[in-house]
Amino acid sequence: MTDEIVVVEGDGIGKEVVPAAVSVLDAVGDFEFVAAEAGDAVKERTGEALPQETYDVVADADATLFGAAGETAADVILPLRTAVDSFVNVRPAKAYPGVNALRPETDLVFLRENTEGVYSGHEDRLSADLSTLTRVVTTSASERLAEFACDYAPDGFQVAHKANVMRETDGRFRDAVVSVAEERGVETEEVLMDAFATRVCLDPTQFDVVVCPNLAGDVLSDLAAGLVGGLGLLPSANIGPDNALFEPVHGTAPDIAGEGVANPSATILSAAMLLEHLGYEDEGAAVREAVESTLAEGPRTADLGGDASTEAVTQAVIDRLD
Amino acid sequence: MTDEIVVVEGDGIGKEVVPAAVSVLDAVGDFEFVAAEAGDAVKERTGEALPQETYDVVADADATLFGAAGETAADVILPLRTAVDSFVNVRPAKAYPGVNALRPETDLVFLRENTEGVYSGHEDRLSADLSTLTRVVTTSASERLAEFACDYAPDGFQVAHKANVMRETDGRFRDAVVSVAEERGVETEEVLMDAFATRVCLDPTQFDVVVCPNLAGDVLSDLAAGLVGGLGLLPSANIGPDNALFEPVHGTAPDIAGEGVANPSATILSAAMLLEHLGYEDEGAAVREAVESTLAEGPRTADLGGDASTEAVTQAVIDRLD
Ligand SMILES: CC(C)[C@H](C(=O)O)[C@@H](O)C(=O)O
Ligand SMILES: CC(C)[C@H](C(=O)O)[C@@H](O)C(=O)O
């Protein structure tokens, strides 16, 4: 049976890097691609950034490859994460040979809780002066994340939180994660999220797999992106129980959109995660290696100091697959 | 009239770096020092990390110099910030010549909202599975911070937030800050807190004064600490309308406490901020310059690759004041 992959290009360079990644997928397997729309352009045309059709097709797909959305990013990606019932956002942040990185020894994976925290979306305007947001933490979501973390990192992981201030909510998160890990015999180390921010700059090799609440994962993984040389190289996977959505961590890059010079690496690496998720371990590893050797040897796009086009880099990756 | 300065050493290296800073203050002015207790040791003895007496004397003082507290840090510092009605935490993060920094060009000041956000402390255990935290944002607190920011940075500042997700609360924060700045004719630039984390690593000179909600300020200033070489050099000021509390950003450093080798620079720089706050601009500037030239020329403590004692470094700072 052919796997069905939904493809949502979105806006800006999404329209360039997603087709690049699709051509790489095409080179390693036999997939049925189903295009769906979301983002600023769709909103302008139809009034809705995320059409119900797109939500439905993503919810039903085996996997989705998403590019980026512009102003409407939150309106698109947060519901799409819900569409795949994604309880964990897997965000590797790795420095690659050949890429100028502030900390070339960085090799981290963030396992970000993907359903709750401040993203739960309950906000109220209680008076002319005061608004509140209800931050939600459940033991069940924390345990589900912890089970995933134990499978992903059986040799142990770090848990970043702010339970010294958010005692009840991050305390619940921490207790749930640590107790699942204890039951499973997996070692954990706790670190306050602010201390993590300092320590990861001083020595990123202190950490490897970092489990954290939703917003902590958002900010700390972007920090790690800074250590490896920017967002242009970071893939991510939103994993649900029977479904998943893969996306580069970067945005639409409006300054270079339409010029055919965007770096497709993050999206191709996201496609490699997609392949592994669908069970194509060898193909996923091959794509990742092809991207890594292209980063090391070139050709390179302008963000990495080269002058190659998106297409030339993509072709170089495909050529290395043979 | 002699200014009264309350001195709270706290635990660990607080007992070493605070006396160091007091001897510097003694060298430049005529102050009445009033000792007060807080922290783990007091809790062990009396059951309370922050005795009511300490709270009261801090609330009544012209200024307080605080060291650090151990396990009880949150129980001590959060109420003490309330005691001085502190609406802003001023956190400079600057790389100094002579100190090994990941980004030597870093020169930032964070103006952190100091009363609300997730620090408002309202948490509820709603069921066996679910806890909530009520994040509070008011226009009044945001405006008070913005007025301070306009005085502090009349040439403009950045506003970091996550209003694309926390639309109502961080939206309120952003709108209040930006509209005060507009009225005052001060330029602002907005940046999402996750994007800030990446961008500050890639090029910290893009930013100078960064206004942010409470937890964002906590994490992003600790990130900047990582760029300048660690927490050992970062002072801070908790400013209230008629009162203020000054503290190094670092903690109690239990690994080296009691050995007389702690780096007193962050606390002495906090004392310099205290001097300026009390109107001793020249003395404050002189102390800061003395610390900077000691960092550049030595002697240095072990954390900076030297082997000088806390006392020797403090004496070197005092000698440079003459
Ligand atoms: C666009 C935004 C809602 C999103 C988030 O905060 O999760 C983005 O920053 C990310 O990290 O994927
Ligand atoms: C100790 C803790 C409560 C405190 C905070 O979160 O504000 C600390 O991290 C700080 O930054 O001063």
> Can you give the pLDDT at residue A1?
67
* CB A78 near ligand 1, within 6 Å: yes
Are the Cβ atoms of B132 and A130 closer than 8 angstroms? no
> Can you give the pLDDT at residue B160?
98
Q: Kindly compute the dihedral angle of the four CA atoms of residues A89, A70, A229, A284, in this order, to the nearest 10 degrees.
A: 50
Please provide the DSSP assignment of A58-101 as one string: HHHSSEEEEEE-STTHHHHHHHHHHHTT--EEEEEEE--TTS--
> Can you give the pLDDT at residue B230?
81
Q: How far apart are CA B225 and CA B207, in angstroms?
A: 15
pLDDT tens digits, A4-32: 999 999 999 999 999 999 999 999 999 99
pLDDT tens digits, B293-307: 999 999 999 999 999
pLDDT tens digits, A38-70: 999 999 999 999 999 999 999 999 899 999 999
Q: Beta strands of chain B (E only): which ranges?
A: 3-10, 31-36, 63-68, 88-94, 107-113, 117-125, 130-138, 157-161, 188-192, 209-212, 235-239, 244-248
Q: How far apart are CA A64 and CA A112, in angstroms?
A: 19
Query: Is B204's pLDDT higher than 90?
Result: yes
Are the Cβ atoms of A201 and B223 closer than 8 angstroms? yes
Residue A156 in 3-state DSSP? Answer: coil
Q: Select from B111, B218, B236 the residue to mutate for testing ligand 2; criterion: most ligand atoms less than 8 Å from CB.
A: B218
The Å distance, Cα B15 to ligand 2 centre, comes to 19
Write out residues in chain A with pLDDT < 70, as ranges: 1
Q: Which among A128, A166, A197 has the least Cβ separation from residue B123? A: A166
Residue range B164-177: average pLDDT? 98
The Å distance, Cα B77 to ligand 1 centre, comes to 32
The Å distance, Cα B173 to ligand 1 centre, comes to 19
The number of the ligand 1 atom at minimal distance from the alpha carbon of A74 is 3
> Can you give the pLDDT at residue B115?
97
Percent of chain B past pLDDT 90, that is, above it, reads 96
Question: Hey, of A132, A162, A304, which one would you mutate to test binding to chain B, going by the most B CBs within 10 A of its CB?
Answer: A132
The number of the ligand 2 atom at minimal distance from the alpha carbon of B221 is 11
pLDDT tens digits, B1-32: 688 999 999 999 999 999 999 999 999 999 99
Give the pairing of strands B188-192 and A244-248.
unpaired
Domains located in chain A, CATH noted: 1-90+234-321 (3.40.718.10), 102-228 (3.40.718.10)
Question: Phi and psi dihedrals of A50, rounded to 5?
Answer: -125, 95
Average model confidence (pLDDT) across chain B: 97
Q: Which among A124, A135, A197 has the least Cβ separation from residue B222? A: A197
Measured in angstroms, the CA of B94 and the nearest CA of chain A are apart by 14
Element spanning B315, H or E: helix B310-319
What's the predicted TM-score (pTM) here?
Answer: 0.97
Strand partners, B246: B65, B237
Query: Is B259's pLDDT higher than 80?
Result: yes
Q: How far apart are CA B94 and CA B233, in angstroms?
A: 8
